Amino acid sequence: MKITYILFLSLCLLLFPNSISAERPSLQAMINEAEAGGTVMIPPGYYEENITIDKPLSLIGERDVTINSCENAPVVKIKSEGVQLSNVLVEQCNEDNGDLAAVYVTGDQHHLSNLEIQSSQMGLQLFEANQIVVEESTIMGTRKENGVDLWKTNDTTIKEVKIDTILDGIYMEQSHRNTIVQNVIENARYGIHLMFTNDTVIEQNQSQHNFTGAMVMEAQNVLIKNNDFSFNNQNVNSQGLLLYLTSDVVAENNLFASNRVGVFIEDSSDAAIANNIFQSNTIGAQWKNSSDNSLVGNTFNGNVNDTQANESANNIIKNNYWDAALKLDIDGDGVSELPHAADPYFMALVQRIPEYQLFFQHPGITLLKQVFNGPEDELLRDLEPSMVYASSENGQKNDKQIILWFVDVVFILVSFIFIQKWRRSL
Amino acid sequence: MKKVIYFSLLSVVIGVLLMGCGSDEVQPRAINEETDKCPVCNMSVMDNQFATQVVLEDGLSHVFDDLGCMYVWLDENPDEEIAATFVRDYNNEEWIRSEDAFYVYNMDVKTPMAYNMISFEDQASADEFIAENEGELIAADALADHDWEMNHEMMEGHGHEGDHGHGEMDSESHTEEGESTH
C-alpha cells in the first residue's frame, strides 16, 4: 500500500511542474497578444524559443528570465521602432552559423537595458538601425564573433556595457555619430574597431587585455577622451590605440599603460594627441607616414622607447614630458631648453626583419646608429620639452605605491630589529 | 682509381640534389592568425579565403588580409624582387598563383578591407559565383589596372548612404561569408 502511495506522489511531483509549463503561454504568444505601445512583463522562467518583436512594445523581465535557443536564427529579433527590452538573460548556443547574433536589432529608437547576453557566436547586432540605446548590459562570447556589431547604424549610444571574450568588442562599419561611453571591454581581438565610420565619440571606456585597445581605421572626426587603454600586450602586434588612414582625430586625457605600443599612427593627418599619459609601454607613440598631427602636453614615463617614427615629418611636437630626455630649464618657465629627438633607425631596421628586435639596445646597434644616422628631417623632435610631470590618476598604481611604501617600512623595521639584536649579542 | 670514381659519382649526386633544390617551386607559407599582420592596413590576417601572399626572392613573405592591400603594397614597393604572388580560391581556400586565378568584383561581397574583389581557381567557379550573386569577371592580367579603392561610401556624405550594396542580400539572415572576417 505504502509503495503505491509513494509511486503516486512521485508521479504527481514529476507531472506537476510539467503541467505548469504546459499551461504557461510561450513568450511569442504573449508578444503577439500584446497591443502596440503596451508593456509585457515576463514572468520568471526559462524560455526555450526564438522571439520576434515587430511592433512598438516594452518587454520587461520581472526577474530570472532566460531566453535560450540553439536554432539557426537570432534568439531575440527586434524590428519596427520604439521597442524596449530589459532585464533578460539571452543565451545563444548555435555552433554552426558564424553570422548569427543572439540579439538582432534593426529599425529605430529601440532601448535595450539590463541584458545579459551569452552567445556562442555574435552578441548583439545592430543592422541598419538608428537612435538605439544599449546600456547597463553584459555580453559574453566565445571569441569567434563580435560582441556588438554595428552596420550602417547611426546616432546610437552604447553605455556601461561589459564585453568579454569576443572577437571585436564593439565593431562599427559605415556607422556615424555614435557614442561609446563607460564600457569595459576585455579579452577581445580589438576592443573598439571603427571602419569607414565618422563622428564617433569614445569616452571613459576601459579597454584592457586585448590585442588592441581601439582600432580606428578610415575614420574622420573621432573624439577619444578619458579612456583607459592598458595591458594590451598579449600579442606581437598589440597596441593601445591604432590610427590608420584617419583625419581629425582628437585623443586627450587617455591613459596608455603597459601596452606593447601605446599609440600607433599610420597614414593619418590632423590628429591631436594631447595630455595623455604614456606609461610603461614598450614603445610610447609610434609614427609611420603621418604628417600634420600634433603631440602636445603628453607625459612619457617609464617606456622602453618613448617614440619611434619614420617618414613622418611636419608634426607639431611640443611641451611633452619625457622622462628619458636630458632636461635643462635656464629661465624657469617650465620648458626645457634642450630639444628631445627620437631616431627612426632601429624601427626602420626591425620593420623589414622583425627578428632584429633581439638586438634592442645592443651596443652594436648604437654604433651603427651613429655611423648611419637617419636623415635630419625624419627625426621626431620635441623642441620645447616640458619639465613638469603629469601624474597618472590611475587608482591601481596608487594602490601599488601604498603597498610598496608599506613593504619598505616593514623591511626597515625588521632590519633595525635584527641590527639591535646582533649588537646586543656581541 | 676507385676513390676518384666514388668522388665523381658523389659530386654528381650532390649536384643533382642541389639542382633539384634550385628548381623547387616557390611555395606559400601557412598563415598564423595569432601573429600575422597585414603590412598595409595593420589588421590581423585571418586564415580565410581573402588572405593573399607575396613571396620575395630572398625568401621573406608578406601576407595580406585583402587582395586590395596586396595591390597597394605592390604599388608602393615597385623595387622589391618578387618570386611569386598567391591568392586563395573563394570556395576551398587553396593557395593559387595570382596569375592563374580568376577574379570577381562584386560590391556586395564584404572583404576585410572592403576592396570587394575575390579570387577563384578556375573560370567555371567564378562564372558560377557570378550566376548566383552577380559581379564582374576580371582577368588576372587586368588586375593591375583595376582601380583599387575601398568601398566605403564616405563620399556620399555622413550617414546618408545610397542604397547601393546589399541589394542581393536578405537583410535579416545576413548570411554573407565575409561578415565574420572583419
Q: What is the 3-state secondary structure (H, E, C) of A16-52?
A: HHHHHHHHCCCHHHHHHHCCCCCEEEECCEEEECCEE
Tell me whether residue A413 is in a domain. Answer: yes
- pLDDT reading at B152 higher than 70: no
Interchain CB distance below 8 Å, A235 and B34: yes
Check residue A81 and report its DSSP letter.
Answer: B
- Mean pLDDT across the stretch A13-38? 74
What is the Cα–Cα distance from A88 to A30, expressed in whole angstroms? 15
Q: Do A273 and A226 reside in the same domain of the chain?
A: yes
Question: B104 pairs with which residues across the strands?
Answer: B118, B137
Tell me whether residue A60 is in a domain. Answer: yes
Interchain CB distance below 8 Å, A211 and B172: no
Q: Please report, in angstroms and rounded to a whole number, the separation of the first and last CA atoms in chain B.
A: 69
Tell me whether residue A1 is in a domain. Answer: no
Q: Do A81 and A168 reside in the same domain of the chain?
A: yes
Q: Do A248 and A357 reside in the same domain of the chain?
A: yes
Cell of A46: 526559462
For B91, other C-beta atoms within 10 Å of its C-beta total: 14
- Are the CB atoms for A262 and A240 separated by under 8 Å? yes
How many angstroms away from the CA of B50 is the closest CA of chain A? 16
- Mean pLDDT across the stretch A398-412? 86
Mean pLDDT lowest for which of A350-359, A360-369, B15-24, B171-180?
A: B171-180
What is the Cα–Cα distance from A379 to A343, expressed in whole angstroms? 6
Q: For residue A170, which residues of chain B lie inside 8 Å, CB to CB?
A: none
Q: For residue B77, which residues of chain A lie inside 8 Å, CB to CB?
A: none
Q: pLDDT-based confidence at A210, cuts 50/70/90? A: very high
- Mean pLDDT across the stretch A53-82? 94
CB proximity list for B19: less than 8 A, separation 6 or greater: none
- pLDDT reading at A178 higher than 90: yes
Supply the CATH number for residue A30's domain. Answer: 2.160.20.10
Q: Do A295 and A374 reside in the same domain of the chain?
A: yes
Cell of A240: 593601445
Cell of B40: 598595409
- pLDDT reading at A307 higher than 60: yes
Interchain CB distance below 8 Å, B44 and A244: no
What is the Cα–Cα distance from B79 to B59, expressed in whole angstroms? 16
Q: Single out the residue in A175, A208, A241 at which a domain terminates.
A: A208
Cell of A301: 614615463
Tell me whether residue A169 is in a domain. Answer: yes
A97 inside 8 A of chain B by CB: yes
- pLDDT reading at A264 higher than 80: yes
pLDDT at A304: 80
Taking the CA atoms of residue A132, residue A138, residue A143 and residue A149 in that order, the dihedral angle to the nearest 10 degrees is: 0
What is the Cα–Cα distance from B126 to A117, expressed in whole angstroms? 39
Q: Single out the residue in A208, A233, A248 at which a domain terminates.
A: A208
pLDDT at A324: 80
- pLDDT reading at A228 higher than 90: yes
What is the Cα–Cα distance from A217 to A214, expressed in whole angstroms? 9
For A145, other C-beta atoms within 10 Å of its C-beta total: 25
What is the Cα–Cα distance from B59 to B138, expressed in whole angstroms? 29
Q: Do A343 and A296 reside in the same domain of the chain?
A: yes
pLDDT at B15: 54
- Are the CB atoms for A336 and A311 separated by under 8 Å? no
Q: Which residue type is seen at B151?
A: N
- Mean pLDDT across the stretch A235-259? 93
Interchain CB distance below 8 Å, B153 and A189: no
A243 inside 8 A of chain B by CB: no
How many angstroms away from the CA of B125 is the closest CA of chain A? 23
Could you give the number of structural domains in chain A? 3
Tell me whether residue A9 is in a domain. Answer: no
Kindly state the helix (H) or strand (E) to which residue A165 belongs, with its residue range: strand A157-173
Question: A130 pairs with which residues across the strands?
Answer: A108, A154
Q: Please report, in angstroms and rounded to a whole number, the separation of the first and last CA atoms in chain A.
A: 91
Residue labelled with grid coordinates 531575440: A76
- pLDDT reading at B164 higher than 50: no
Give the percent of chain B with pLDDT over 90: 48
- Mean pLDDT across the stretch A164-183? 95
- Mean pLDDT across the stretch A207-235? 94
Q: Do A345 and A236 reside in the same domain of the chain?
A: yes
Q: What is the overall mean pLDDT for chain B?
A: 78
Tell me whether residue A3 is in a domain. Answer: no
Check residue B57 and report its DSSP letter.
Answer: T
Q: For residue A106, which residues of chain B lie inside 8 Å, CB to CB?
A: 171-172
Give residue A375's domain range: 211-393
Total CB pairs under 8 A between chain A and B? 72
Q: Sign of torsion, CA A419 A420 A422 A423?
A: positive
Q: Do A135 and A219 reside in the same domain of the chain?
A: no
Q: Do A204 and A246 reside in the same domain of the chain?
A: no
Q: Is B19 left (phi over 0), alpha (psi -120 to 50) or beta?
A: alpha
* pLDDT tens by residue, A145-160: 999 999 999 999 999 9
Nearest CA to A141 out of A81, A87, A100 is that of A100
- pLDDT reading at B67 higher than 80: yes
Please list, residue by residue across B2-21, b when 16 or more beta carbons sit within 10 angstroms of its beta carbon and e when fewer do: eeeeeeeeeeeeeeeeeeee
Tell me whether residue A287 is in a domain. Answer: yes
Q: Do A339 and A231 reside in the same domain of the chain?
A: yes
Candidates B172, B176, B177, B181: best to mutate against A (most CBs of A within 10 A) is B172
- Mean pLDDT across the stretch A80-87? 95
Q: Do A281 and A137 reside in the same domain of the chain?
A: no
Q: pLDDT-based confidence at A9, cuts 50/70/90? A: low
Q: What is the overall mean pLDDT for chain A?
A: 88
- Mean pLDDT across the stretch A310-320? 84
Q: Do A70 and A144 reside in the same domain of the chain?
A: yes
Nearest CA to A146 out of A174, A171, A175, A179 is that of A171
* Alpha-carbon distances, residue B70 vs A85, A160, A289, A310, B43 (angstroms): 44, 39, 18, 21, 13
What is the Cα–Cα distance from A372 to A348, expressed in whole angstroms? 12
pLDDT at B161: 35
Q: pLDDT-based confidence at A373, cuts 50/70/90? A: low
What is the Cα–Cα distance from A386 to A295, expressed in whole angstroms? 12
Higher per-residue pLDDT: A367 or A377: A367
Q: Single out the residue in A208, A224, A256 at which a domain terminates.
A: A208
For A80, other C-beta atoms within 10 Å of its C-beta total: 17
B contact residues 151-180, partner A, Cβ 8 Å cutoff: 152-154, 158-159, 161, 171-176, 179-180
pLDDT at B176: 38
Nearest CA to B54 out of B100, B20, B17, B85 is that of B85
What is the Cα–Cα distance from A111 to A100, expressed in whole angstroms? 21
Interchain CB distance below 8 Å, B150 and A171: no
* Alpha-carbon distances, residue A206 vs A257, A300, A303, A363 (angstroms): 12, 20, 20, 39
Tell me whether residue A14 is in a domain. Answer: no
- pLDDT reading at B172 higher than 50: no
Nearest CA to A198 out of A155, A148, A160, A163 is that of A155
Q: Do A219 and A355 reside in the same domain of the chain?
A: yes
How many angstroms away from the CA of B176 is the closest CA of chain A? 8
- pLDDT reading at B18 higher than 60: no
Higher per-residue pLDDT: A36 or A354: A36
Of B34, B41, B154, the CB nearest to A196: B154
Q: pLDDT-based confidence at B179, cuts 50/70/90? A: very low
